[in-house]
Amino acid sequence: MEDCIFCKIVAKQIPADIKFEDNEILVFKDIAPKAKIHWLVVPKKHIPSLQALTSEDSKLAGHLIMNIPTIAFKAGVNETGYKVFMNTGPHGEQVVPHIHMHLMGGEPLHGPTRVS
């Protein structure tokens, strides 16, 4: 999608600190990390939010979740633990309208999964 910042990162039109990539997903460091480890797990397909998922996305959604343990291992947080969460819509504090999972860890995290 033309004006989507995450689509531009996926297309390598703007730089990001990429940590992992396969045919369907891209993982990169959050530009404003709120924890020692704060990575974003993004499908390459532009999907605006959880609310926009269709049955066509079932396999992709499964793929995203199933890759979390590997990504957590790469981040070095597989043993100490981490939070994975998705903000959705205005009350959910979603800022970028391209579906993404936050993976945060590297230190003890407290309280709700608020990132800003």
Active site residue 110: no
Asked if residue 68 lies in contact with residue 86, where contact means CB atoms within 8 angstroms, the answer is no
Report in angstroms how near the CB of residue 75 gets to ligand 5GP at its nearest: 15
- Scanning 15-23, 34-42, 66-74, 96-104 for contacts with Zn ion by CB under 5 A, the matching segment is 96-104
- Three-state SS for 66? helix
Site for ligand 5GP contains 31 (CB under 6 A): yes
> Which lies closer to ligand 5GP via its Cβ, residue 32 or residue 66?
32
Identity of residue 92: G
Give, as ranges, the residues between 45 and 84 that touch Zn ion (CB under 5 A).
46
Identity of residue 54: T
Compute the half-sphere exposure of residue 96: CA atoms within 13 Å on the CB side of its CA. 22
Q: What are the catalytic residues? A: 100
